[in-house]
Amino acid sequence: MKQTLRSTSAILLLSLSAHAYDATKAQEFNAFYSHMTQKACADSKLFIEADDVMKMLREKKPFTMLDVRTDGEASVISLSGENALHIPINVLFKKENLDTLPTDKPIMIVCHSGTRATLAAIGLKRLGFKKVHVVKGGLITLANANNPKNAPIK
């Protein structure tokens, strides 16, 4: 009897772990990611080149540069200017921080290399932000693009 009870318990536990994901979330993710075919990814407007961001700065185009790096990273090298905003990714999705993001102009998201910025962009897109872009290569490529030819004229 004890052996049967143990066996039944083990089978139940194993079957529960086989379905240990949130099916509703899986459906939401499927709806979001299912359109990401090879062609759609190749044609994606999610990423923007650092040179294009520098051109937008030079031409004083309206956009927000969102830095999602940690406070520690931003304390060493930070973005400045009227269009710069620093909100670390670990607090980006708090209501009070989301409320500071513009909905009427593009948001260029930057981190060190682009990984966190991509995660932030996907999250913001899922929330309904339309004009979200990731600076391809992150702050590294942005720094490399900042040269006398590309720098904003002051």
User: Residue 76 maps to which CATH number?
Assistant: 3.40.250.10
Do 51 and 126 sit in the same domain of this protein? yes
Quick one: pLDDT at residue 22? 85
Quick one: pLDDT at residue 148? 75
Quick one: pLDDT at residue 82? 84
Q: For the chain, which residues score pLDDT lower than 50?
A: none
Say if 39 falls within a structural domain: no
Quick one: pLDDT at residue 17? 56
Say if 113 falls within a structural domain: yes
Say if 40 falls within a structural domain: no
Predicted TM-score (pTM) of the model is 0.77
Quick one: pLDDT at residue 31? 84
Percent of the chain as helix, strand, coil, to the nearest 5: 50, 10, 40
> 66, 81 in Cβ contact below 8 A?
no
The count of domains in the chain is 2
The residue segments making up the domain with residue 103 are 45-145
How wide is the angle at C-alpha 64 spanned by C-alphas 60 and 65, nearest 5°?
100
Quick one: pLDDT at residue 15? 57
Quick one: pLDDT at residue 32? 79
Quick one: pLDDT at residue 11? 64
Q: Which of 119, 118, 109 is CA-nearest to residue 139?
A: 109
Quick one: pLDDT at residue 76? 93
